[in-house]
Amino acid sequence: MLKVIATSTREVKSLNGLWSFALDTDPKFTSSSPWESTLPGNLECPVPASYNDIFPNHALRNHVGKVWYQRLVRIPKSWDGQRVFIRLDSATHEGEVYVNDRLVVKHVGGYTPFEADLTSAGVKAGEEVRITIGVDNILTRHSIPPGELQKNELGKTVQIIRHDFFNYAGLARSVRLYTVPLDVRVGDIKVVTDVEEKGGSGTVKFDLKLEGGDGTVTVDLVDRDGKIVTTSDSCSGKLTVPNPKLWGPGQPYLYNLSIKVSTTGNVVDEYSLPVGIRSVKISGTQFLINHKPFYFKGFGRHEDLTVIGKGHDDGWMVYDFELMRWTGANSFRTSHYPYAEEVYDYADRHGWIVINEVAAVGLNLHLGGGIFGKDERDTFSDEYCDATTQETHKQAIRELIARDYNHPSVVMWCITNEPGSQEKGAREYFQPLVELTKQLDPHRPVTFTNMGMALPDTDKIADLFDVIGINRYFGWYSETGNLELAEKKLEEELKRWAEKYKRPLVICEYGADTLAGLHMNPAQPWSEEYQCEFLTMYHRVFDRIEAVVGEHVWNFADFSTGPGIIRVDGNKKGVFTRDRRPKMAAHTLKNRWGGLWEEAK
Ligand code: GCB
């Protein structure tokens, strides 16, 4: 799916800002078709933002079901003769878009974009239209992530989720109108790069799809100084770049693939795609970027902010990247869902390494029995994650890869977090998903994150993956307060993974809840000192195991969760507080990872 950009043949109009807003349960609704009239009440909600924390009101925060956004939009008169689309970067978890009283698109899946062709729907340049967007936050056992609805003793519907972050919903990312040429245009581009082992030359394989007719194409690879390095006049091919400037960690050199489509000698469409020339390969237990062993240093994160929840905000995004850079981190995982596209664009432009995760979290009925409640069912069965869930999961993988295929920063797909991979049915469920991922992208390694109930001998899926992600909490959920015993157990287990699977292990989560400002000597759980000692112990173990090629601390910052007796105002495993103040552990990491780095020019 092409990113929305403005070029000489394409225009963009943001629809971000305040929209009229109503819950579908609003008693003032007079019609069962909210899109046919103006919304009741006078609430306004910002876009992009999750709506839950905008209003200090239980009914809104904990609403289960649909909400409605609405606004009037004038289609620019100057767009006459062009094809107009509406693009929603996400609607969490299901969206439906109406133009006046006409449904133009419905989409399932809360973290990937979707769009509708408004021109085909009869919308004309210069016209004013009423756009109404319904967003549903319900998670069922057939959604990704899965969840369930239950009736409580008051007869109210409550949402059961099996993941440890608040179920923020709404329009948390941009909504835009954009134009493309009415007829012949660039429909999609896929780029794969490779680097010769000695770095002498690089290749850019491209595959361009035209839509709306036929045309001739010019494809130029342009360097940072605007010089054309190599060129082609076909829709697919392989460009060779002698002595390329490589893209790599902290080394964000980007070329531009500049595409022009012509009919009868006139340029009718232009599109341009940043391209980082780099290679990613696995060799034994090493993770190689540009043929050099890479060690992941960084964080599992969340899109999570006060007030706007999972709303994208450029200011906070840059600040988070700068804080990570200050610690010396080089990478992060988009736990537990695809992030806003701006995050990957930034990572491309600044040399960050990204493990990109599908929103498949909570496929595990038995995780932390006490936390989510005991369950007798099998996770991968007709009673929970069944063939329909698997289909939704496949679609989530397809949409993630379609969106993010061209980002040099993305080095690996993570197709699930902490599934019940020791359970029967897990292999039958995941094998087709790994195969699909590899078929859609044969060039990137595929990983998952394993949880502590599925051990080297009982996990049924780890061998399907190129890299094994491991989340461990010895010293926190078990051996609480006993780091000596935790160290022994951690080391023993990681050695078993290394011996049995002989492939790279990335520790994708390790961390301890820590109350900022709580100091204790000797260190005790919840104190800042304990978090430091905990992380330091893990690092000692990692350094003793060659197959460990990465450490992502859980979590970059404290984040919001649902209510529960083991969460006080959310999950406190952040190395930064929710408002991004450093805990002592940030300095521990800075010392280990080397602190602030400068991008190579
Ligand atoms: C995990 C999950 C993560 C939780 C974390 C915790 O294993 O992957 O979503 O937030 O543990 O803090 O318990």
**What's the pLDDT score for residue 26?**
82
Domains (ranges, CATH) in the chain? 12-181 (2.60.120.260), 185-278 (2.60.40.10), 294-593 (3.20.20.80)
Task: Give the span between the Cα atoms of 401 and 434, in whole angstroms.
Answer: 13
Phi, psi values for residue 355, rounded to 5°: -100, 120
Distance CA 58, CA 44 (A): 17
pTM for this predicted structure? 0.98
Does any ligand 1 atom lie closer than 6 A to the CB of residue 417?
A: yes
Buried b (16+ CB within 10 A) or exposed e, 201-232: ebbbebebebbbeebbbbbbbbeeeeeebeeb
Query: Whose alpha carbon is nearest atom 3 of ligand 1?
Result: 164
pLDDT in tens, 492-513: 999 999 999 999 999 999 999 9
Residues 6+ apart with CB under 8 A from 34: 22, 24, 68, 70, 132, 134
* pLDDT, tens digit (0-9, with 9 covering 90-100), for 399-422: 999 999 999 999 999 999 999 999
Any residues with CB less than 8 A from the CB of 354 and at least 6 apart, and which? 331, 332, 333, 334, 344, 347, 407, 409, 410, 411
- 175 pairs with which residues across the strands? 88
Which structure tokens are listed for 183? 């007829």
pLDDT bracket for residue 124 (50, 70, 90): very high
Note the pLDDT tens digit of each residue in 325-365: 999 999 999 999 999 999 999 999 999 999 999 999 999 99
pLDDT cut 70: percent of the chain above it: 99
Alpha carbon of residue 578 to chain centroid: 19
Using a 10 angstrom Cβ sphere, with 0-12 exposed, 13-18 middle and 19 or more buried, the burial of residue 42 is: exposed
Residue 514 Cβ inside 6 Å of ligand 1? The answer reads no
DSSP per residue, 166-197: ----EE-S-EEEEEEESSSEEEEEEEEEEE-T
Distance of CA 164 from the midpoint of ligand 1 (Å): 6
Instruction: Give, in degrees to the nearest 5, the angle at Cα 62 between 57 and 63.
Output: 100
Q: What is the pLDDT of residue 134?
A: 97
Would you state the structure tokens that stand for residue 503, as one six-digit string? 């492939």
Q: What are phi and psi of 547, to 5 degrees?
A: -70, -15
List CB contacts of 117: < 8 A, sequence separation 6 or more: 83, 84, 85, 104
491 is catalytic: no
Indicate the DSSP class of residue 247: E
Residue nearest to atom 7 of ligand 1 (CA): 471
Q: Would you call 509 a catalytic residue per the annotation?
A: yes
State in Å: Cα 527 to ligand 1 middle: 19
Which helix (H) or strand (E) is 147 found in, with range? strand 147-151
What is the distance between the alpha carbons of residues 176 and 340, in angstroms, rounded to a whole number? 14
Which residue, 562, 567, 587, is CA-closest to 513? 567
For residues 138 and 159, the answer to whether their CB atoms sit within 8 Å is yes
Site to probe by mutation for ligand 1, drawn from 334, 571, 572, 575 as the one with most ligand atoms within 8 Å of Cβ, is 571
Identify the pLDDT of residue 373: 60
Q: Is the CB of 560 under 6 A from ligand 1?
A: no
pLDDT of residue 30 exceeding 80: no
Give the pLDDT confidence score for residue 423 in this predicted structure. Answer: 97
